[in-house]
Amino acid sequence: MVKTFFHRDINKKREDFLSWTEYFMATAFLAAKRSKDPCSQVGACIVNEDKKIVGVGYNGMPTGCSDDQFPWSKTAESELDTKYFYVCHAEMNAIVNRNSADVKNCTIYVALFPCNECAKIIIQSGIREVVYMSDKHAEKAATEAAKRMFDAAGIKYWQYIPQNSKIVIDFTEINWSKQPTDVHLHENIIKEMENL
User: Known catalytic residues?
Assistant: 91
CB-nearer residue toward Zn ion: 118 or 127: 118
Whether residue 74 contacts residue 82, with contact meaning beta carbons closer than 8 Å, is answered with yes
CB-nearer residue toward Zn ion: 24 or 58: 58
For residues 117 and 84, what is the distance between their CA atoms, to the nearest angstrom?
Answer: 12
Whether residue 144 contacts residue 150, with contact meaning beta carbons closer than 8 Å, is answered with no
Instruction: Please state the closest distance from residue 104 (CB atom) to Zn ion, in A.
Output: 20
Instruction: Please state the closest distance from residue 112 (CB atom) to Zn ion, in A.
Output: 8
Whether residue 31 contacts residue 18, with contact meaning beta carbons closer than 8 Å, is answered with no
Q: Where along the sequence are the contacts to Zn ion (CB under 5 A)?
A: 89, 115, 118
For residues 163 and 86, what is the distance between their CA atoms, to the nearest angstrom?
Answer: 35
Contacts of 172 (CB under 8 A, 6+ apart): 179
For residues 26 and 156, what is the distance between their CA atoms, to the nearest angstrom?
Answer: 20
Instruction: Please state the closest distance from residue 17 (CB atom) to Zn ion, in A.
Output: 32
CB-nearer residue toward Zn ion: 39 or 185: 39
